[in-house]
Amino acid sequence: MSIKKGLWISLGLFILLVVAGIVFLLQPSGQVSDFQKWQYQAAENTSTSSRLKVKFFGVSTLLFDDGKTQILIDGFFTRPSLSQVLFQKIQSTPDVIRRMVQQQHLQRTQAILVTHSHYDHALDIAELGKQLPYTKIIGSNSTLNIARGGAVAEQQLIQVQPLHPMSFGEFTIMAIASQHTPPTTVNNDLGEEISRPLQQPARFFEFKEGHSFDYLIEHQGHKILVKASTSVIPNQLRDLKIDTLFLGIAQLSRQSTEFQQNYLNETLKTLKPKAVVPIHWDDFFKPVDQPLEFLPYLADNTDKSLKILIQATERHKIQVVLLSQPVSYPLELALQSPP
């Protein structure tokens, strides 16, 4: 064999290995079906009398509904594909938002609470604000500048005031300053702000974090905390006791053992919830009308992240509820079911 031919063969094998590696990294990091034991599935005979229910649409998009009033966390429904995010400017899709408004009766939504301003949380708030003109949008100044970029009316916008209670129907809501998941190569903008109205389409990196918030939601004595990002300010939650915790686990598997233990102690051990619902574990490059899948290996090892969480909840005797499809989960079950 000639040297030239050998080099071509070696190059071909190298290219095949690179392609195989890329294909592997884009595969889901595990299967949701492997966690069926913890998945909530509404039975046909499930009582519909529960006053407070929640639907999970992926990432940290949660719709709380008591039959009269709705509260929406983030409201990220457009979910552009990975190739769109990497190579194009992205924008909210009005038809997708219109369909969600109709299907989920979002006209009853009194407030949209935005956890931070990265696109996978805040891309759709301007379009939601325009289609829901009586709904308040609550978030950082960066978040409000995304809404302003879409010409949302100023009277709809409320800048977050941490620890200041707000009332919507029978909901009482309080924002708590938080921290974003530690930086990676694609979210190294932590603390950076969107200083002027951001018009769409825009590149994904123009959606700066702009500070992160957890949201404490109280409804008829039921206390709920939504923590979208996998990080915590030390001792921030020590005086708080809740019933249900919606806990972000994105990239938990990528953190050090010390970080994992500290994060779970500051949340599970400190808050002592009766139930924990993992969020921000799904592949948000998939359309909202498709079944949720784990994040690809390129972004996380979701199988490992969930197992780390489940192991910790077993130590603390806390129930895990995995919401893998947008069904109405009665939050009273979190109070009744043993771990």
* Per-residue pLDDT reduced to its tens digit, 81-127: 999 999 999 999 999 999 999 999 999 999 999 999 999 999 999 99
Same domain for 14 and 147, yes or no, is no
Strand partners, 245: 225, 276
Q: Indicate the angle between helix axes 257-264 and 302-316, nearest 10 degrees.
A: 50
Looking up residue 138, the CATH number of its domain turns out to be: 3.60.15.10
Residues 181 and 291 in one domain: yes
Task: State whether 285 and 151 are in the same domain.
Answer: yes
Together in a domain, 331 and 224: yes
| The predicted structure's pLDDT at residue 215 | 98
Q: What is the mean pLDDT of residues 306-321?
A: 96
Q: Are 127 and 237 in the same domain?
A: yes
Cα–Cα nearest to 123, from 203, 4, 12: 203
- What residues make up the domain containing 8? 1-30
Residues 122 and 19 in one domain: no
**pLDDT attached to residue 305:** 96
Rounded distance between C-alpha atoms, residue 248 and residue 16, angstroms: 36
Q: What does pLDDT average to over the chain?
A: 90
Q: Which residue from 252, 289, 282 is spatially nearest to 267, judged by alpha carbons?
A: 252
**pLDDT for 165 beyond 60:** yes
Same structural domain, 19 and 161: no
Q: In which residue are the tokens 């994040």 written?
A: 295
Same structural domain for residues 192 and 326?
yes
In the predicted structure, residue 289 carries a pLDDT above the cut 80: yes
CB of 237 closer than 8 Å to CB of 215: no
Decide: 48 and 88 in contact? Cβ < 8 Å: no
DSSP label of 9: H
Task: State the average pLDDT over residues 213-234.
Answer: 96
Looking at the structure, tell me whether residues 176 and 130 fall in a common domain.
Answer: yes
pLDDT of residue 334: 75
39-88 pLDDT per residue, tens: 998 765 455 556 899 999 999 999 999 999 999 999 999 999 999 999 99
- Number of structural domains (the chain) is 2
What pLDDT sits at residue 190?
A: 78
> 185 falls in which pLDDT band (50, 70, 90)?
low
- CB neighbourhood size of 324 (10 A): 21
Is the same domain home to 35 and 24?
Answer: no
Q: How confident is the model at residue 298 (pLDDT cuts 50, 70, 90)?
A: confident
The CA distance from 32 to 291, in Å, is 10
Residue 299 has pLDDT above 90, yes or no: no
Residues 7 and 101 in one domain: no
Q: What is the pLDDT of residues 6-34, one digit of tens each?
A: 555 555 555 655 444 454 456 777 899 99
CB 279 within 8 A of CB 223: no
Is 96 found in the same domain as 13? no
Closest CA to 251 of 231, 275, 234: 231
Query: Residue by residue, what is the 3-state secondary structure of 275-338?
Result: EEEEECCECCCCCCCCCCCECECCCCCHHHHHHHHHHHHHHHCCEECECCCCCCEECHHHHHCC
What pLDDT, in 10s, does the model give residues 228-274?
A: 999 999 999 999 999 999 999 999 999 999 999 999 999 999 999 99
